[in-house]
Amino acid sequence: MSSSGRVISGKEVAQHNSRESCWIIVHGKVYDVTEFLDDHPGGSKIILKYAGKDATAEYDPIHPPDAIKTHLPPEKHLGDVDPQTVLKVEVEVTDQEKARMDRIANRPSLSEILNLHDFEAIARAVMPEKAWAYYSSAADDEITNRENHAAYHRIWWRPRILRDVTHVDWSTTILGHPSKMPLYITATALGKLGHPDGELNLTKAAAKHGVIQMIPTLASCAFDELVDAAQPGQVQFLQLYVNKDRAITKKFVQHAEERGIKGLFITVDAPQLGRREKDMRQKFEAEDPAEVTGNNQENKVDRSQGAARAISSFIDPGLDWKDIPWFQSITKMPLILKGVQCWEDALQAYDLGLAGVVLSNHGGRQLDFSRSGIEVLVEVVRELRARRGLSFPNEKFQLFVDGGVRRANDVLKAVALGATAVGVGRPFLYAFSSYGFEGVDHALQILHDEFEMNMRLLGARTLKEVVPEMVDASSLQSHIVAVPGDRLYDSNYESMQHARLREV
Ligand code: PPY
């Protein structure tokens, strides 16, 4: 792509280190970003920090690999840098960073990690603060985020006894494709914030355990890299953020179909990004203190920008039901709406001939006080049965749930209530952020073991025997019942913080 194929010395690049002339190096290529500075969704300041230098390490986790190629005209691609001559960016290792390195060295061995909560506790201790803030943050007061998990506490089992459970099998099919468990790895953005291999960790672990990975639009790894890394026959889905420029979306969707993606999950709950204050505060506190004093409020700091908001401007808030036929005209992949939150919308999706819906509130990251997916599931099953005579799980119109799942026990409750499968997101992020591929591998093994035990204790030999009669969900819609607290979950929950006085 470099316009000239020219080799440029690091010394020459280093001279272009100002707002007037700003060159940066990413993956050995030199780019002139001077005219792009004010258009950068993350602000100009961060680019200027790397002006004249190699920005690869900062760039990688938060940009899709082809972002520069897409956004910078070819004439701004100046050529290749001579690797011998690149100035190393001196990164000061703070005491805080040293302490984090110590914590990484002192991680427990994987054999001491007994459940998915454990990964979260370790991830919180070892991840860079910004990355932790981005992954863990949720909307407003994070009520929905916590409710997603708490809702499972209002469902209790009615197990059956004296059934021969020597052999138990919790495998299933999702959109017609085999899955070893009734769960899939749902889409979560910016995997390289947590680990240098990003979403590749998930691709590899999904292959090993026979589960399906949903590739996110905003993966840190390139889409093709994730597809190329799949084993022959490995099934992958794609999550789609719809671009304001429909030509871009069309190209992406059709490319995905050509590459063998087996289901398109269109995100419908994020016309605007939710307000994730943990993420926002991180960014805010990382700014130059001189600019955020009470005396200098000329809005030099854009307080609205967490990591996520910075890159969300391409998403189309104009997406509408009337776009659905267009999607149906550009692809034969099954279409699923991800982020449905009431039966009326689920019914409309069914009537339009879609393949299913994900009952989800985006991990509590969008509208606070949205109900949990598992609560919405009950009303969707009830109304679609009453109005269209459907029974669930249903091959033709599949219901998925995500949010708050930490144990196979949670997953099986959703299956009993009619879900085909459940999406799990953050726990896998925490698993690879703390232990890379082996972490995700271990997380899936834990879930495997939990499924085996729970199936036996429930008296269910296959998922067909995990039926509505096996659960008491009569309190699910009541938001005030007292149940024992989940200490593991609660102790991982990091309270939001108020704004703080400056240190004097
Ligand atoms: C999220 O953060 O909740 C996402 O879905 C990913 C994302 C990241 C950045 C912009 C928009 C969405």
The radius of gyration of the chain from alpha carbons, rounded to an integer in Å, stands at 24
Q: What is the DSSP string of 45-101?
A: HHHHHTTTSB-HHHHHHHS-TTHHHHHS-GGGEEEEE-GGGPPPP-----HHHHHHH
Mean pLDDT of 230-256: 97
Read off the pLDDT of each residue in 305-330 and give the average, rounded to a whole number: 87
Kindly give the distance from the C-alpha atom of residue 312 to the centroid of ligand 1, in angstroms, as a whole number.
Answer: 7
Q: Looking at residue 41, what is its pLDDT? A: 58
Alpha carbon distance 163, 461 (integer Å): 8
Tell me what pLDDT residue 61 has: 75
Of residues 306 and 213, more confidence is placed in 213
- The angle that helices 343-351 and 373-388 make with each other, rounded to 10 degrees, is 50
When pLDDT is cut at 50, 70 and 90, the band that residue 45 belongs to is: confident
Contact 373, 403 (CB under 8 A): yes
- Which residue puts its alpha carbon closest to atom 11 of ligand 1? 312
Q: What is the pLDDT of residues 377-390, one digit of tens each?
A: 999 999 999 999 99
pLDDT at 319: 98
Burial 306-338 (b: 16+ CB within 10 A, else e): bbbbbbbeebeeebeeeebeebeebbebbbbbb
State in Å: Cα 24 to ligand 1 middle: 26
Residue 32: what residue type?
D
Relative to the CA of 273, which ligand 1 atom is closest?
11
- The best mutation among 273, 358, 426 to test binding of ligand 1, ranked by most ligand atoms within 8 Å of the C-beta, falls on 273
Residue whose CA lies nearest to ligand 1 atom number 10:
312
Helices (H) then strands (E): counts for the chain: 18, 16
Q: Whose CA is nearest to atom 6 of ligand 1?
A: 189
Question: What pLDDT, on the 0 to 100 scale, is given for residue 209?
Answer: 98
Rounded to the nearest integer, the mean pLDDT of the chain is 91
Q: What is the pLDDT of residues 434-471, one digit of tens each?
A: 999 999 999 999 999 999 999 999 999 999 999 999 99
pLDDT, residue 343, reads 98
Rounded CA-CA distance 148/138 in Å is 11
Q: 4, 76 in Cβ contact below 8 A?
A: no
Q: Is the pLDDT of residue 176 over 60?
A: yes
Please, which pLDDT band fits residue 149 given cuts at 50, 70 and 90? Answer: very high
CA-to-CA dists, residue 192 to 2, 429, 433, 438, angstroms: 25, 10, 9, 16
Q: Which atom of ligand 1 is nearest to the CA of 365?
A: 3
What is the average pLDDT across 483-488?
80
Helix residue ranges, H only, 106-167? 116-126, 129-136, 143-150
Q: What angle do CA 338, 386, 417 make, to 5 degrees?
A: 55
Looking at residue 6, its pLDDT comes to 87
Band (286; pLDDT cuts 50, 70, 90): very low
- DSSP-derived 3-state class of residue 402: strand
| pLDDT tops 80 at residue 488 | yes
Mean pLDDT check: name the lowest of 58-62, 326-330, 422-426.
58-62
Q: Which of 453, 452, 399, 446 is nearest to 205 (CA)?
A: 446
CA distance 322 to 327: 10
Residue 185 has pLDDT above 70, yes or no: yes
Nearest CA to ligand 1 atom 7: 308
Mean pLDDT of 395-406: 98
pLDDT value at 236 more than 90? yes
Whether 366 and 358 have beta carbons less than 8 Å apart is answered as no
- Ligand 1 centroid–CA 376 distance in Å is 23
H/E stretch holding 357 reads: strand 356-359
Contact residues of ligand 1, CB 6 A cut-off: 189, 218, 273, 308, 311-312, 362, 365
Count CB atoms within 10 A of the CB of residue 291.
13
Q: Of the candidates 121, 101, 150, which has an alpha carbon nearest to the alpha carbon of residue 494?
A: 121
- pLDDT band for 37, please (50, 70, 90 cuts): confident
Distance CA 407, CA 419 (A): 16
In the chain the first and final C-alpha atoms are separated, in Å, by 50
Residue with more model confidence, 63 or 322 = 322
ipTM of the complex model? 0.95
pLDDT > 90 fraction of the chain, expressed in percent and rounded = 74
Structure confidence at residue 38 as a pLDDT band (50, 70, 90):
confident
**Structure tokens belonging to residue 80:** 């290749």
Kindly tell me if the per-residue pLDDT of 338 is higher than 70: yes
pLDDT value at position 470? 98
Residue of 28 and 298 predicted with greater confidence: 28
Beta strand 236-240 with 212-215: parallel, antiparallel or unpaired? parallel
Q: How far is the CA of 244 from the centre of ligand 1 (A)?
A: 16
Contact 151, 375 (CB under 8 A): yes
E strands present in 406-454:
421-424
Residue 271 has pLDDT above 60, yes or no: yes
Which residue's structure tokens are 């940009």? 63
Q: Helix 408-416 and helix 426-458: axis angle, to 10°?
A: 70
Instruction: State the pLDDT confidence band at 2, using cuts at 50, 70 and 90.
Output: very low
Bridge partners (DSSP) listed for residue 172 = 179
Q: What pLDDT was estimated at residue 310?
A: 64
Q: Which residues are catalytic?
A: 241, 269, 362
46 vs 384, higher pLDDT: 384
The closest residue, in CA terms, to atom 3 on ligand 1 is 365
**Mean local confidence (pLDDT), 284-308:** 44
CA distances to 42, 123, 413, 432 from 188, in Å: 19, 16, 23, 12
Ligand 1 geometric centre to CA of 192 (Å): 14
- Here the tokens at position 285 are 């506190």
Residue 169 structure tokens: 């099998």
Q: What is the mean pLDDT of residues 235-246?
A: 97
